[in-house]
Amino acid sequence: MPLIATVAGLLITSLLLLSIEVNPLNVYAALLRGALGSLFGVSSTLRWATPLILAGLAVSIGFKAGLFNAGLSGQIYVGGFVGSLIGFSITLPWGLHPVAAILGGGVAGALWAFIPAILRRYLGASEIVTSLMLWYVAIGVADFLVRQFFRDPTSAAFLMSVKVMPSAVLPSIFPVGNVSVMLFASIGASLLLSYLSARSRLGYEVRMTGANPRFAHYSGVPTGQRLVLAFCISGFLGGLIGASESIGINQRFVSQFDPGFGFDGFLVALLANGSLAGCIPAGLFLGVLKAGGAEVERALGLSKSIIWILQGSIILFVSAHRLRFLLSRLASQLRRARWKSSPSR
């Protein structure tokens, strides 16, 4: 299904490009060249794919339990703040320091997600609304703390914290660009969680809670606990994104550092179509679009928004559940028409 949607999205975008007299093949060629045609392109693709995979995973875990983590951006933000805080305020041996910062960011994200989770469990409050609202709280609190206590005095224009200790910096594993070991962590997390979801008893209970909470409850599954667990894992993954952006890319906390991973996570999750391991290819694909967009802009003088149109139309088709139904209906009608026109009847 995601494949059909991708093709349909490419077609729609092509029509649009043709209408402004641009050869779509040139655009797609530039896109691929930009994303995969050079070492820098590849590293750029992987740099973007890392947080995208994690974000898709975070959203998908929520889906598994029947939850909608609309506030992933908030958990990312909190993770970014706490990750950098651990990075610049304490000293730890090299090698241990980034790990502590990343895990600290993850835990912070999990705790931020814990609030809507327990509100949902005990008060029945929609996690969509509460987690989304907590995003604004996260921005307010983190920015306030940075402005008051940790601001880099040399930067007047932008709100950012002091730099993290050199021991805390997540190094790039590529000669160019900003790819960190978090790439492997995100792939590993996808595979691990995919396996746990499919094979562990806990994963099974979370899936059943998501598939039909009444059924799970009636069967004796502690559904409340399972919901909280799934939501906290989702928040933990969000925290990892924030922390690795802070100590890997920016090497400090930068206000509004998140370019929208929280929402991109939904795109990845939709493309992955409910599969946790599927977040890896889906994240890589969106990474290609993000990385190649710059080249489209540079080589063809087109606005980057063409990439957003492509993304948007693919997602549109992925979420169009009725598409498959309509296609099969069309097929059966065609069959019928052929049958009716056959002279033997």
Partner 1 sequence: MPTPIIQLIGVTKKFGSFIANQAIDLAVQPSEIHAIVGENGAGKSTLMKTLAGLHLPEEGRILLRGEEVLLGNPEIAMRHGIGMVHQHFSLIESLTVTENVVLSNPPQRGGVFRKRHAEQLVRELGDRYGLTVDPRRRIADCRVGVQQRTEILKALYRNPDVLILDEPTAVLTPQEARSLMENLRTLRDNGKTIIFITHKLQEVMAIADRVTVMRAGRIVLETEISKTSPNALAVAMVGHEIHAERKEHRPDLGNKLLELDHVTCSADGVGGSSLHDVSMTLRAGEVLGVAGVEGNGQSELVEIVTGLRLPNSGTVRLKGVDVTKASSPAAMRSLGVAHIPENRISTGLATTAPLMDNLIMGVHRSAPVARGIWIDQDAARDHARKLVQEFDVRPGDIRADAGSLSGGNMQKAIVARELTGDPEIIVAAHPTRGVDIGAAEFIYEQLLRRRDKAAVLLVSSDLDEVLRLSDRIVVMYRGSVMAEVLPQGLTSETLGLLMAGIKPAGGVAAPGAGGVA
Contacts with partner 1 by CB under 8 A lie at 199-202, 204-205, 207-208, 211-212, 214-222, 329, 332-333, 335-336, 339
* Amino acid at position 110, single letter: A
Round to whole Å and give the CA distance between 80 and 253: 7
- How big is the CA angle at 101 (ends 263 and 162), to the nearest 5 degrees? 90
In angstroms, the CA 67 to CA 114 distance is: 13
Q: How near is the Cβ of 124 to partner 1 at its closest, in Å?
A: 14
Of 214 and 322, nearer to partner 1 (C-beta) is 214
Closest to partner 1 by CB, 121 or 217: 217
Residue 89 or residue 225: which is nearer to partner 1 going by CB?
A: 225
Q: Which is nearer to partner 1, 113 or 208 (CB)?
A: 208
Cβ 335 to partner 1, closest distance in Å?
7
Q: Please, which residue, 41 or 203, has the CB nearer to partner 1? A: 203
Q: Residue 230 CB, nearest distance to partner 1 (Å)? A: 16
Instruction: Note the residue count of the chain.
Output: 345
If you ran DSSP here, which 8-state letter would residue 222 be given? Answer: -
In whole angstroms, the minimum distance from the beta carbon of 136 to partner 1 comes to 34
- Whether 182 contacts 190, CB under 8 Å: no
User: Nearest to residue 295, comparing CAs of 42, 41, 43, 12?
Assistant: 41
The residue behind tokens 């946790």 is 276
Distance of CA 92 to the CA centre of its chain: 30
Nearer to partner 1 (CB atom), residue 148 or residue 338: 338
CB of 340 to partner 1, least distance (A): 9
Two structure tokens written together for 311: 């993304």
Q: What tokens were used for 70?
A: 């609309």
User: Distance (Å, rounded) from C-alpha 221 to C-alpha 64?
Assistant: 15
Q: Is 298 or 335 the residue whose CB approaches partner 1 more closely?
A: 335
Token couple for 212: 């039909």
* Residue 60, CA distances (Å) to 234, 268, 323 in order: 8, 9, 22
* Residue whose CB is less far from partner 1, 199 or 322: 199
CB of 7 to partner 1, least distance (A): 23
Of 44, 43, 42, 69, the residue nearest 55 (C-alpha): 69
Closest approach of Cβ 333 to partner 1, in Å?
7
* Closest CB 54 distance from partner 1, rounded Å: 24
Backbone angles phi, psi at 163, to 5 degrees: -70, 150
Select from 267, 97, 111, 104 the least CA-distant residue to 165.
97
